[in-house]
Amino acid sequence: MQSGSRLPWAQGQSPPGGGVGRVSWPGVGPNLSGQAACPSPHPQEAMQMVPKFCFPFDVEREPSSPAVQHFTFALTDLSGTRRFGFCHLRAGAHSCLCILSHLPWFEVFYKLLNTVGDLLAQDQVSEVEELLRNLLQQPLPGPQASVELGSGVTVSSAQSIPPPAPGNSGPLSCFVAPDSGRLPSIPENRNLTELVVAVTDENIVGLFAALLAERRVLLTASKLSTLTSCVHASCALLYPMHWEHVLIPTLPPHLLDYCCAPMPYLIGVHSSLAERVREKALEEVVMMNVDSNTLETPFDDVQALPPDVVSLLRLRLRKVALAPGEGVSRLFLKAQALLFGGYRDALVCSPGQPVTFNEEAFLAQKPGAPLQAFHRRAVHLQLFKQFIEGRLEKLNTGEGFSDLFEQEITSNGASAGALRSYQLWADNLKKGGGAFLHSVKAKTQPAVKNMYRSAKSGLKGVQSLLMYKDGDSGLKRGGSLRTLSLTSRSDCLQQRLPITQHFGKNRPLRPSRRRRLEERPSESLGEGTPALSPEDAPDPWAEEALDSSFLGSGEELDLLSEILDSLSMGASRTGSLRPSQSLDCCHREDTDSCFSLPDIAGRPRWQPENEKAPEPQPLSLPADLPSLQTLQPSDATTSSKDPMSQPALEASHEIILPSLSPPASAQPSSRGDPASHHLILHLSPPHKAAEEPRAQESPCSQLSMAPTQSSPPESPQLLVPTKPNLDITWTSQPLEPLDSSSDPGSPENPRSEPPEVLPAKHARSQLPEGPGAPAAPDNDWQESQARSRPRVAELKKCFEG
Amino acid sequence: MSMEDYDFLFKIVLIGNAGVGKTCLVRRFTQGLFPPGQGATIGVDFMIKTVEINGEKVKLQIWDTAGQERFRSITQSYYRSANALILTYDITCEESFRCLPEWLREIEQYASNKVITVLVGNKIDLAERREVSQQRAEEFSEAQDMYYLETSAKESDNVEKLFLDLACRLISEARQNTLVNNVSSPLPGEGKSISYLTCCNFN
């Protein structure tokens, strides 16, 4: 409705960093005109859909949840680029705050939403506006940097930052980006924690097997937070592989027919809709009911896995599932290494030629009948194919890798003997090495070695590349939020990699990695590698990181203490861990404290987390291979990517913070009714994304608050390209998705346009009414607090016991 | 159309390089009959068209997913539950034709499953920019034992024919029970049964 006015503070403001723009959503329009360019951008379309995704359940049947629910939905555009919608569904389910972003920063965004919710509950609308605006406009914090969002909220990639000075009366919070270099751990990683709490070991293995066979998998649960967490966490178990097919964490009611798709998918359906889905005569679908912890499958996928792997999983999972730490992630990593580790021996590297993968050689390996049988099927899996392509690309572009997976293969190979030729590789490494090898130590992978050799002749500086880990620059989600108590490691923080944002797909691009090459040529390369100018000398860093990747017992202790610290924040009661409960709780507490990530070096293990954006692999294939290969002084290649590598909160996401009323529950009239507020904060993806969806490396963030329901007048403004990004509006009308054609939040914004802030005067005036009674939040908070206690206490017990 | 108002239901999957016009092809075929685009936000979309062949109503569900271009080829797991594949290339783009063997390599290994594969050369409305001759494409498809057709999604040329022919072949395959009984899956223990008479609740 009243949209046209600009926020006072927004006027004349130009985006920091410039070049920030909105990316239009390349939706497929209902346009049947048959024009050559069928897929045309229809940003509004996607934005119109957002409210439906915010209430992905049968609003008429589903009683409102007593607690706040945090869940995620995913929007996948025509190019396959994925954006996540992080939702905060308020008690009573009449409004939902949502942030759209390519960044899989689950914990960060959920907490941020809590903060926003609390502020709104206190009618601190201007603080919210400022916070969101800052969020959209600020670039992603670089290593060791932090971004002040106002209201005492800070987003940081380092822990060394001093606690934000108490700003207003708002909560004092510090959100730390997840560390991509780690495996998801319990309880920091919320998704994984929810999965192991809700689903028994046996079924987790079954789910893993089904995903590994690329089945059509449907999960149902009555709690949205549990549902979407299980979806994301189960995908993450596939690391270093990625779920390459359709992924829909929560399927809104109007799209239920899509469960009939003949291709592989992983879809979450709220239990209120499960019945309707079952009526669809699904064929060959693996169904997992999280509430009842039952898995129905027409296949024998678990039996199709090598028995030793299955027994390993079954035996060990039980033990590690309830213990804090990375045990679960590491167990599945081990399984993956056993299953796919043999790929290395099928890599073919001849001088002057790109490294290739010889499928025949892979299948000709004799690791034992069961594994061979598995391999014969595996080569027809998309996830395996993409994994191989990703590895080859890294090798051939000189990026190299030495990630957790490779390390795991190495250790497996040594102990299990599954990889017979490993020793040969290792021997070769020893002989050929030099300084580079020393620095990398035994952790260098054979594949890397190959790379090194072929590179030797032509690629100098490649070696330095090899030292960087996969996870470095990638953003991963994961909860690596730590308490301040860890600050002692701040020195290590310096080594922290910049946070990048590529997300959109399962596998994010990682620009920053390349940039890193530039920045930190390794000195360890003694050979004076030319290419990357060694200005900064991160070597020590590299080594530290590598070393730390090996689990040191000492490190583990640190981890544990960290966990305890964080757990101790609120726990006192005891309860049962097992029952499927969700973890909504625990998270509210964060608002009051500052969490930060431990430095890399200090980390117990350097591992990329998997989840959504698990080890980010460059998707942008081929294009630069040649040039990279010649990585000579390279500035060309690196520099070109550089800009992008510095992501920014700026461009990388689209934050939508709308409070939507449930589609069905329209109860318009009454003012002050929470249901009727629509506040959408819209962060648009990097402008580049539009052109090269895959390479969303350069994020430009924009903040826009748009009314979901908007009055016609408003929408025009938002659509205007150069217009402001931030538009806050509030309407007293119930949100009806279909009617919101004029959705202002629509990403039509011009891509390369500098972000501007949209006017939202009325927003201020009206917002106050919206978010409903201030008291509500408090209740929620308390409730969640209370709920969290049992779990935390349990974990603590486990830990201590 | 009512839900049970058909005798056969077939699921068809589109594959091919990016930009060859897969989406347009389907849109053209289903134009006006089913509102497409609903699934555009979730990376997968499908369209439905019901045709009548020899008095029997055949419902075709044509599925398309976003982001195929990031795959050099699509593996069996993607289409193992489909009744037919439409492999599309662009006649004005030599590159898209040259990629076909890559796509087919995976499909061939899957041949025992009898998935029907149709090769479609799209964009014949751009004849002046043709880079792949019809003869060459026909020879290729013959060698691969595939049905071949050239279409123009823009002009609607042959689009209807494509789907009708496909429906005929699917019915005939179904009659021979090949679809139901002869389908073996790549994974052991995978009891595969493509039921073409399923009742789906599509509106």
Annotate A98-159 with DSSP letters as a single string: EEEESS--HHHHHHHHHHHHHHHHTT-HHHHHHHHHHHHHSPPP-TT-EEEEETTEEEES-S
Is the pLDDT score of A549 beyond 50? no
| A34/chain B closest Cα distance in angstroms | 5
The reply, when asked if residue B83 is annotated as ligand binding, is no
Q: How confident is the model at residue A250, as a pLDDT?
A: 95
Q: How confident is the model at residue B91, as a pLDDT?
A: 93
Q: Which residues contact B84 (CB under 8 A, 6 or more apart)?
A: B10, B11, B12, B13, B115, B116, B117, B118, B166, B169, B170
Which residue ranges make up each domain of chain A? 43-140+172-176, 336-431
> Picking from A193-207, A301-315, A529-543, A786-800, which range would have the lowest pLDDT averaged per residue?
A529-543
Indicate whether B197 belongs to any domain. no
Tokens of A638: 């690196």
Q: Which residues contact A384 (CB under 8 A, 6 or more apart)?
A: A241, A340, A378
Q: Are A234 and A189 in contact (CB under 8 A)?
A: no
For the purposes of burial, counting CB atoms within 10 Å of the CB of B143, is it exposed (0-12), middle (13-18) or buried (19 or more)? exposed
| Interval A111-170: pLDDT, tens | 889 989 888 889 999 989 988 888 888 777 665 556 666 656 666 554 443 444 444 433
Asked if the Cβ–Cβ distance from A45 to B65 is below 8 Å, we say no
Q: How confident is the model at residue A723, as a pLDDT?
A: 31
More confident residue, A174 or A4: A174
Is the pLDDT score of A204 beyond 70? yes
Q: How confident is the model at residue A716, as a pLDDT?
A: 31
Average pLDDT rounded to a whole number, residues A438-443 = 36
Q: How confident is the model at residue A282 (pLDDT cuts 50, 70, 90)?
A: confident
> Picking from A243-247, A666-670, B20-24, B55-59, which range would have the lowest pLDDT averaged per residue?
A666-670
Average pLDDT rounded to a whole number, residues A577-589 = 38
Answer whether the bond into residue A39 is a cis peptide, omega within 30°: no
| A483/chain B closest Cα distance in angstroms | 36
**Searching chain B, which residue's CA lies closest to the CA of residue A618?**
B70
More confident residue, B174 or A801: B174
> Picking from A185-189, A230-234, A491-495, which range would have the lowest pLDDT averaged per residue?
A491-495
Average pLDDT rounded to a whole number, residues A204-209 = 97
Is the pLDDT score of B121 beyond 60? yes
Q: How confident is the model at residue B97, as a pLDDT?
A: 93
Among A72, A84, A284, pick the best mutation site for testing chain B contact (most B Cβ within 10 A): A284
Q: How confident is the model at residue A26, as a pLDDT?
A: 26
Average pLDDT rounded to a whole number, residues A1-7 = 30
Q: How confident is the model at residue A154, as a pLDDT?
A: 65
Instruction: Please report, rounded to a whole number, the percentage of residues in chain A having pLDDT higher than 70.
Output: 40
Q: Structurally, how many domains does chain B consist of?
A: 1
Tokens of A111: 């907490």
Is the pLDDT score of A42 beyond 60? no
Which CATH number applies to A43-140+172-176? Answer: 3.30.450.200
Q: How confident is the model at residue A150, as a pLDDT?
A: 62
Indicate whether B1 belongs to any domain. no
Instruction: Please report, rounded to a whole number, the percentage of residues in chain A having pLDDT higher than 90.
Output: 26
Q: How confident is the model at residue B24 (pLDDT cuts 50, 70, 90)?
A: confident
Q: Give the C-alpha separation, A388 to A362, whole Å.
A: 11
Phi, psi (degrees; rounded to nearest 5) at A432? -85, -10
Rg (CA), chain A: 25
Indicate whether B24 belongs to any domain. yes
Average pLDDT rounded to a whole number, residues A424-429 = 42
Q: Which residues contact A385 (CB under 8 A, 6 or more apart)?
A: A379, B71, B72, B73, B75
Most confident stretch, A170-179, A641-650, A743-752 = A170-179
Is the pLDDT score of B147 beyond 80? yes
More confident residue, A40 or A72: A72
Q: How confident is the model at residue A90 (pLDDT cuts 50, 70, 90)?
A: confident
Q: Give the C-alpha separation, A526 to A463, whole Å.
A: 10
Asked if the Cβ–Cβ distance from A380 to B77 is below 8 Å, we say yes
Q: Give the C-alpha separation, A570 to A114, whole Å.
A: 16
For strands A153-156 and A173-176, give the pairing. Answer: parallel
Instruction: Give B192's contacts in chain A (Cβ within 8 Å).
Output: 284
Is the pLDDT score of A87 beyond 50? yes
Q: How confident is the model at residue A181, as a pLDDT?
A: 75
What value does the mean pLDDT of chain B take? 78
The reply, when asked if residue B23 is annotated as ligand binding, is yes
| Interval A353-365: pLDDT, tens | 899 999 999 999 8
Instruction: Give A254's contacts in chain B (Cβ within 8 Å).
Output: 38
Average pLDDT rounded to a whole number, residues A750-761 = 32
Asked if the Cβ–Cβ distance from B63 to A262 is below 8 Å, we say yes
Instruction: Give B70's contacts in chain A (Cβ within 8 Å).
Output: 80, 386, 505, 619, 621, 694
Report how far apart the first and last C-alpha atoms of chain B are (Å, whole number): 7
Q: How confident is the model at residue A467, as a pLDDT?
A: 36
Q: How many helices (H) and strands (E) does chain B have?
A: 7, 6
What value does the mean pLDDT of chain A take? 59
Is the pLDDT score of B108 beyond 70? yes
Is the pLDDT score of A386 beyond 90? yes
Q: How confident is the model at residue A151, as a pLDDT?
A: 59
pTM, two decimal places? 0.62
Q: Which residues contact A502 (CB under 8 A, 6 or more apart)?
A: A102, A474, A475, A508, A509, A510, A511, A613, A616, A647, A652, A695, A696, A697
Secondary structure of residue B139 in the 3-state scheme: helix
CATH number at residue B49: 3.40.50.300
Indicate whether B161 belongs to any domain. yes
| A378/chain B closest Cα distance in angstroms | 10
Q: How confident is the model at residue A60 (pLDDT cuts 50, 70, 90)?
A: confident
Q: Give the C-alpha separation, A456 to A453, whole Å.
A: 5
**Searching chain B, which residue's CA lies closest to the CA of residue A50?**
B41
Tokens of A332: 């599945």
Most confident stretch, A337-346, A410-419, A759-768, B183-192 = A337-346
Instruction: Give B188's contacts in chain A (Cβ within 8 Å).
Output: 300, 304, 373
Q: How confident is the model at residue B21, as a pLDDT?
A: 81
Indicate whether B141 belongs to any domain. yes
Is the pLDDT score of A77 beyond 90? no
| Interval A619-654: pLDDT, tens | 333 333 333 333 333 333 333 333 333 333 433 444
Domain range spanning residue B48? 6-174
Q: How confident is the model at residue A255, as a pLDDT?
A: 92
Asked if the Cβ–Cβ distance from A30 to B75 is below 8 Å, we say no
- Give the residues across from A221 on adjacent strands: A270
Is the pLDDT score of A519 beyond 60? no
Q: Are A706 and A763 in contact (CB under 8 A)?
A: no
Could you report the predicted ipTM of this complex, rounded to two decimals?
Answer: 0.84
The reply, when asked if residue B123 is annotated as ligand binding, is yes
| B55/chain A closest Cα distance in angstroms | 25
For the purposes of burial, counting CB atoms within 10 Å of the CB of A361, is it exposed (0-12), middle (13-18) or buried (19 or more)? middle
Q: How confident is the model at residue A45, as a pLDDT?
A: 64
Residue for token pair 């014949």: B124
- Give the residues across from A285 on adjacent strands: A216
